[in-house]
């Protein structure tokens, strides 16, 4: 299992450009065979824009079932968790 720490990118993750940059760094890990821990420990805010750009746009490269089997989340506070869940739900509806 490999851990990808979002805290390295800041306590407040709020912009699409940052989301794109983080997604681009996450993609090579997802191309490997190991399960990835998406660790948000120490992150206070995850905006809807960041969550869509970084996490939900992964659904453009793989189905939701594969994303679920390849990743697990850690350390999401309730507000950040809601942003990620909402982004995934919206993107899944668009790509389904």
- Assign residue 74 a region (left: φ > 0; alpha: ψ between -120 and 50; beta: otherwise): beta
Say what the pTM is: 0.91
Q: Do residues 91 and 52 make contact, with C-beta atoms less than 8 angstroms apart?
A: yes
Tens of pLDDT, residues 46-91 = 999 999 999 999 999 999 999 999 999 999 999 999 999 999 999 8
Counted domains in the chain: 1
Domain hosting residue 26, numbered range = 2-95
pLDDT tens digit string along 8-47? 999 999 999 999 999 999 999 999 988 999 999 999 999 9
């Amino acid at each position: 299992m490999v851990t990808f720490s979002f805290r390295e990118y800041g306590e407040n993750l709020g912009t699409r450009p940052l989301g794109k940059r983080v997604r681009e760094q996450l993609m090579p890990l997802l191309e490997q065979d190991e399960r990835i821990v998406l660790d948000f420990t120490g992150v206070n805010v995850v905006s809807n824009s960041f969550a869509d750009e970084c996490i939900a746009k992964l659904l453009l490269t793989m189905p939701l079932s594969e994303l679920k089997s390849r990743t697990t989340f850690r350390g999401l506070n309730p507000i950040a968790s809601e942003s990620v869940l909402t982004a995934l739900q919206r993107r899944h509806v668009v790509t389904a």
